Amino acid sequence: MDIRDRMDPQVRARLDQYLAVVGPQGLSGIEDIPERRRRQAELTAGHRPAGHPGAAGEAGDVEVRDHGIRGGTDTGPPVRVRVYRPRGAPPVAPCVLYLHGGGLVAGSVDGDDARAAGLARATDCVVVSVDYRLAPENPYPAAVDDCFAALVWVAESHRRLRVDPRRLALYGPSAGGCLAAATALLARDRGGPGIACLMLVSPMLDDRPTPSHRTNTGFGAWSREANVQAWQAFLGADFGTDRVSPYAAPARVGDLTGLPPAYVDIGDLDLFRDEAVDFALRLMRAGVPVELHVHPGGIHGGENLAPEAGSSVRLRGHRHSALRRTLGVGT
C-alpha cells in the first residue's frame, strides 16, 4: 500500500489542492527562507478573526490587544505579544501562552491569529500569542529567550491581564512545541513561573534523525530536508554535535522530572512521530502525568490544511477538553 493511501481522505484532498497552488513540494520545497515566509504570509493573509486589532480590537466575541514587552536579554529588542480575551471568560481567567509553529524560521502572531483566537473562544481562556524572533537571523537562544520572557511577563502582569497565574498553560504546535518544552524546562530550572499544563501538538523536539523522519516525509506539508535546514538555521555551528543544548532541542534533556502535566498529540504519518512519542514516554517514566494521542492517518500540518475534516475537529475537541479540564474552566 502507498503510504499516502493511509492519509485521512479529507486531508489528502486538501493536500492535493494545496500542492496544485504552491507546487509539488509545498512551501517546504522553497529553499530560500525569506521567500518561503513571503509565500506563507500570502497564503494566510485575510484569515483574521473578528476582534483583530485592525477592527479596533473590540469587534466580535474576542477582545484583542497587542503589547510590547521586555525581551529575554537586556540587549534584545522588545517582544510583541497579542492577548485574546474571549467575551465568555471569567473575571479572572486561566491563561494559555501560545507559541506558533513555522519550523523556527517562519510563522508569526499574524499568521496564527485565527488559530489563537479560536483557541480562546473554545476554552474560555485568555490566550497570549508570542511573536518570537526567528532563525537564521536570530539563532538559538533568541526564540527561547523571547518565549520565557513572555511567560515571566504573563505571571508578573496577571492582575493587569486578569488571569490566574496558578492556571497557566503552554501550548505549542510544531516548532512551537519545541519552544513550549524548552520554556517549561527553563521555568523548572529557574524556579518558576509555575505552569499547570504543557500542551505539545505535533512537536518538533529533536534535531537528530529518527526512523519517522525517513518514512513519513515527502508529502509536501513539511519535508525532512526542510526540517534539517531549519535546525541548521536555529543551531548554527552546533548542529549535529554534542554541544546542542536541551533548551534548544528538548529531546536531548536527560532529566524530565518536575515538568508540568503534559498533553501530546501526533499523527502516525507525521515525521515528528517518533520524537513526540518518545518524549511522552520519557515524561511518564519520570513521573509526569501525560495524555498521549497518536491519530491514524495524520500527517504534519494536516489539521491546518483541512481544519474542517472530521479528524481535525476531533483532535481540537480533545485538546480543548484537556485544557478546560486541567485549567479548571467551568468548575
Predicted pLDDT of residue 288: 98
Question: Who has greater pLDDT, 72 or 190?
Answer: 190
Question: Who has greater pLDDT, 76 or 236?
Answer: 236
Quickly list DSSP for 220-276: SSS-HHHHHHHHHHHHGGGTTSTT--TTTSGGG-S--TTPPPEEEEEETT-TTHHHH
Predicted pLDDT of residue 50: 41
Query: Out of 55-59, 209-213, 214-218, 247-251, which region has the weakest mean confidence (pLDDT)?
Result: 55-59
For residue 47, pLDDT over 50 is answered with no
Characterize 272-300 residue by residue with b for buried, 16 or more Cβ atoms within 10 angstroms of its Cβ, and e for exposed.
bbbbbbebbebbeeeebebbbbebebbbb
Average pLDDT over residues 296-302: 95
Q: Is the Cβ–Cβ distance between 82 and 109 less than 8 Å?
A: yes
For residue 242, pLDDT over 80 is answered with yes
Predicted pLDDT of residue 220: 84
Q: Is the Cβ–Cβ distance between 120 and 85 less than 8 Å?
A: yes
Cβ neighbors of 134 (< 8 A, separation 6 or more) are 102, 104, 105, 106, 107, 143
Residue 312: active-site member: no
| Catalytic residue chosen out of the listed positions 108, 129, 174, 212 | 174
Residues written for the chain: 331
Question: Who has greater pLDDT, 146 or 72?
Answer: 146
Residue pointed to by grid coordinates 499547570: 196
For residue 156, pLDDT over 80 is answered with yes
Average pLDDT over residues 21-29: 90
Share of the chain above pLDDT 70, in %: 95
| Catalytic residue chosen out of the listed positions 158, 213, 295, 300 | 300
Q: How far is CA 187 from CA 148, 177, 183, 207, 241, in A?
A: 8, 15, 6, 22, 25
**CA–CA dist 194, 277 (Å, integer):** 25
Predicted pLDDT of residue 331: 65
**CA–CA dist 134, 263 (Å, integer):** 25
- Per residue in 169-178, pLDDT (tens digit) is 999 999 999 9
Predicted pLDDT of residue 59: 43
Reading the block at residue 238, the C-alpha cell is: 552546533
Residue 268: active-site member: no
Predicted pLDDT of residue 218: 77
Predicted pLDDT of residue 72: 74
For residue 221, pLDDT over 90 is answered with no
Which strands, in side-by-side order, build the sheet including 126-131?
62-69, 79-86, 126-131, 93-99, 163-173, 197-201, 262-267, 290-295
User: pLDDT averaged over the chain?
Assistant: 93
Residue 213: active-site member: no
Q: Which of 292, 313, 291, 293 is nearest to 302 (CA)?
A: 313
Predicted pLDDT of residue 316: 97
Predicted pLDDT of residue 268: 96
Predicted pLDDT of residue 327: 97
Q: Which of 255, 254, 253, 274 is nearest to 264 (CA)?
A: 274
Q: Is the Cβ–Cβ distance between 204 and 129 less than 8 Å?
A: no
Predicted pLDDT of residue 1: 62
| Catalytic residue chosen out of the listed positions 270, 274, 295, 311 | 270
pTM of the model: 0.94
Average pLDDT over residues 87-105: 96
Q: Is the Cβ–Cβ distance between 200 and 282 less than 8 Å?
A: no
Predicted pLDDT of residue 4: 81
For residue 58, pLDDT over 60 is answered with no
For residue 74, pLDDT over 80 is answered with no
**CA–CA dist 232, 311 (Å, integer):** 33
Predicted pLDDT of residue 262: 98
pLDDT band at 46 (very low <50, low <70, confident <90, very high): very low
Query: Out of 59-63, 213-217, 264-268, which region has the weakest mean confidence (pLDDT)?
Result: 59-63
Share of the chain above pLDDT 90, in %: 85
**CA–CA dist 111, 184 (Å, integer):** 24
Quick one: DSSP state of residue 77?
P
Predicted pLDDT of residue 196: 98
